[in-house]
Amino acid sequence: MRTIVPSLIEALKLPKPTPAVRARMVERLYGMEPGVFLSSTLAATVIGVVLYDRTGDAVFLFTSMLVVASVVVLLAVTRHFTRHVRPIEPGQARQWAITFGLFSLLIAGGVGLMTSYAFLAGKDALTLLIVETLCLGTVCSITRNYFSLPTMLLQLVVLLVVPAICMLQLGGVAYLVIALGSVALFVNMVQVSFGLHREMVLSLVKDETLETQHHRFDAALANMAQGLCMFDAEERLVVFNQRYLEMHGFSASVVRPGMSLEDLLRHSIEIGNHGVVDDLQASYLRLRAQMFDREEGTFSHLLEDGRTIEVSHQKVEGGGWVATHEDITERKRRDEKIAYMARHDDLTGLGNRATFREQLAAALERTGGSDIAVLAIDLDRFKPVNDTLGHPVGDAAMQILAKRLTACLEEDGFVARIGGDEFAVLRDCAGRPHCVAELAERIIAELSRPLNIKGHQIVLGASIGIAQAPQHGSSVDELLRHADLALYRAKDEGFGRYVSFSPDMDGRMRDRRAMELDLRRALREGEFSLAYQPFVELADGQIAGFEALLRWNRPGGGDVGPATFIPLAEEMGLISQLGEWVLREACQEAASWPDEIGIAINLSPAQFRHGNLPQLLLHALASSGLDPARLEIEITEGVLLQNEEAARTMLDQIRTIGAQVAMDDFGTGYSSLGYLRSFPFDKIKIDQAFVKDVPSGGDALAIAKAIVTLGNSLGRTVLAEGVENEAQYLALRQMGVMPDLIRHPEP
């Protein structure tokens, strides 16, 4: 007992077998060789018959037949299990274990019953010797039943313990010694059984763990996006996955574990992975050097079909290496595209600003900073094309112009798109003093040729600013800045011009920056004011209202005209804040006037790009208490050029509020008549350019009469802007448009 108990305790410490392990244990039970059963059957049969013949006792015959029947049934069950059932599912293990245990116990029980009966019946010594021998022999035949501890323990009890107890009733020292020996054998067999069972369980658990790991490893290999291969120290292929075969187009019937590196390379060359290569030996030595001479590394291999395979390899302990193969074709193309996009304009394919700077820096270094010209180019009249015809047409125009611009250059030039409608050209003019002017004229001529895009006839143009090294600068930043300054001057002078940089332009730019700072301060500190210009009725000369005119008295600079600071405010993005202030201030002032006097406020096109204009009008009217009918909003054609549908919606909202809408500078735009017909205007303003020449007759008078007639026919009120003398007043009066309004000169 002192040895059995620790064995039992040790057995209980075993990890509980999983259902899969239990199933494997049952399969081992049924794996017994038939010869073991047959020898037991033969011995039990012979001994039972002999004893029956010797003693005439039928018990011996009955017990031997019980053993034979049990063995026959167990053999049949084992045969069926082996052929039709194995391997079994974990859920079936218990049922089959019980079946095996039952018939095993019947076999052991038959032998044990025969032996116990012989001792109880007091048979002669020879009979006792025979049955005890059979019993011990059967004990030896059941040793493999340790796979099922309960079956093994019960068999040992009926074969050793029960006969030993029966043996004691015979008395005598010899039988006592034999009985004690049987008990001692029982104890040893129990220890052996528990030990074998423990080792068997641990082994099966370990096998299951390894099998699980192998399955996981196989699944990982099969599902890897990369190909994997491993070579041993003898350069033999040990492990690879399916992706490795697919990636290189290898044949599964050719590439197998144990294949040498040289044979694998030969197969790769045969299927065309290497194109035109050196001989096999040279390729082998090159590949071997990449793998064996470095602890780890990465290299790329370009296949004949254009794919790029990146190979990352690392040496393994004991020699050999493991490598992963990744198809980086798409990644490489994507990286190349990203790198290209980082240096090129996506729409035109030209270089971008960064690339132009690099090219300019390289040219300055190559030439020592001399005879290098930079041309800054801005397209004329491009924005209205984008706004009126849409971005697809604008993009198509940009692509055509980019090709024309490139065609203007010779091999020593470089062109880039550096902004929306801005280009830059680099030209080496060594030994050609007139090449810059000739190039500028050629560019202007080419970019001014008409375009026909989707049925639209488009005429653009270009303005060019020029800076040359070394006279206009010797660095990249200087040349680019001075070319931009020259471009500003060219655009100020009109369309289709080119201007070279001069030092005074730098001063003008500094003045502009100073004005920008002052303009921000003026808005912040309230330096703006409003003047009010009256407009009167032709019929009786009575004042009908005023137009709010914005004024800026710049500290230290005197009065600055709106024509100067309004465009600057628009460029700086300040026009919305400035317009909102004008709207609030004018409404507040007009609210104190007589009820019949209205107020007209001119809005910048930039203010229409903000969707909150109706809300600003409502807030200004509510805070001032001004009747909306006394408010008139004046817009120019530039508002309508941006987005007709959005402008129409905005004008409808303004009229819904109750304010009136007037078109300013009518007659100066190419599509004013169409807008007049399509948009809800209450009034039309004749531009001052026509009014001042009305007394002289001619075209100005004819245009003014046409506008008045058109306004009357459409039911619109017509206003004449900028009446400066009596002659203009009388000429307009003679047109017979009595209710219309006329403006006095600006204060």
* CATH code of the domain in which 291 resides: 3.30.450.20
More confident residue, 667 or 149: 149
CATH of the domain at 606: 3.20.20.450
Return all residues near 147 (Cβ < 8 A) that are at least 6 apart. Answer: 25, 26, 28, 29, 197, 200
Tell whether 506 is covered by a domain. Answer: no
Mean pLDDT of 252-268: 85
- Tokens (6 digits) for 180: 């004690």
Tell whether 547 is covered by a domain. Answer: yes
Q: Does residue 192 share a domain with residue 87? A: yes
Torsion of CA 49, 54, 57, 59, to 10 degrees: -30
Residue 77 has pLDDT above 70, yes or no: yes
- Residue 632: strand, helix, or coil: strand
Q: Which residues pair with 415 in a beta bridge?
A: 425
Mean pLDDT of 717-745: 58
CB 340 within 8 A of CB 349: no
Q: Does residue 185 share a domain with residue 286? A: no
Q: Does residue 528 share a domain with residue 470? A: no
Residue 743 has pLDDT above 60, yes or no: no
Tell whether 222 is covered by a domain. Answer: no
Tell whether 338 is covered by a domain. Answer: no
Tell whether 334 is covered by a domain. Answer: no
Residue 423 has pLDDT above 80, yes or no: yes
Of 326, 357, 387, the residue at which a domain comes to its end is 326
Look at the chain and report how many structural domains it folds into.
Answer: 4
pLDDT at 169: 74
Q: Does residue 469 share a domain with residue 578? A: no
Reported as a pLDDT band with limits 50, 70 and 90, residue 589 is very high
pLDDT at 34: 54
Tokens 């008295």 belong to which residue? 553
Q: Does residue 576 share a domain with residue 693? A: yes
Using alpha carbons, list the distances in angstroms from residue 730 to 595, 627, 694, 709, 726: 29, 33, 10, 17, 6
pLDDT at 15: 54
Phi-psi group of 293: left, alpha or beta (phi > 0 → left; psi -120 to 50 → alpha; rest → beta): alpha
pLDDT at 38: 60
Q: Does residue 353 share a domain with residue 316? A: no
Which H or E run includes 534? strand 528-537
Tell whether 336 is covered by a domain. Answer: no
Tell whether 221 is covered by a domain. Answer: no
> CA 114, CA 154: separation in Å to the nearest integer?
16
Amino acid 185 reads L
Residue 742 has pLDDT above 50, yes or no: no
Q: Does residue 664 share a domain with residue 617? A: yes
Tell whether 552 is covered by a domain. Answer: yes
> Mean pLDDT: which of 107-111, 122-126, 287-291, 612-616 is highest?
612-616
Of 178, 211, 244, the residue at which a domain comes to its end is 211
> CA 466, CA 401: separation in Å to the nearest integer?
19
Q: Does residue 271 share a domain with residue 191? A: no
- Domain of 73, in residue numbers: 4-211
Return all residues near 505 (Cβ < 8 A) that are at least 6 apart. Answer: 482, 485, 486, 488, 489
Q: Does residue 636 share a domain with residue 536? A: yes
Of 185, 211, 237, the residue at which a domain comes to its end is 211
Q: Does residue 592 share a domain with residue 680? A: yes
Q: What are the tens digits of pLDDT across the range 139-182?
A: 666 666 656 667 777 777 777 777 777 777 777 777 777 777 77
CATH of the domain at 459: 3.30.70.270
pLDDT at 401: 92
Q: Does residue 524 share a domain with residue 469? A: no
pLDDT at 5: 53
- Give the E-state strand segments of 568-712 in sequence order: 598-602, 631-635, 660-666, 683-686
More confident residue, 611 or 419: 419
Among 56-65, 108-117, 542-551, 737-746, which is the least confidently predicted range? Answer: 737-746
pLDDT at 264: 84
Average pLDDT, the chain: 77
CA angle 612, 616, 618 (to 5 degrees): 120
pLDDT at 740: 39
Tokens 């020292």 belong to which residue? 173
Q: What are the tens digits of pLDDT across the range 630-661?
A: 998 887 766 665 566 777 778 888 888 888 88
Q: What is the DSSP string of 679-713?
A: S--SEEEE-HHHHTTGGG-HHHHHHHHHHHHHHHH
Q: Does residue 643 share a domain with residue 724? A: yes
- Residue 378: strand, helix, or coil: strand
pLDDT at 377: 94
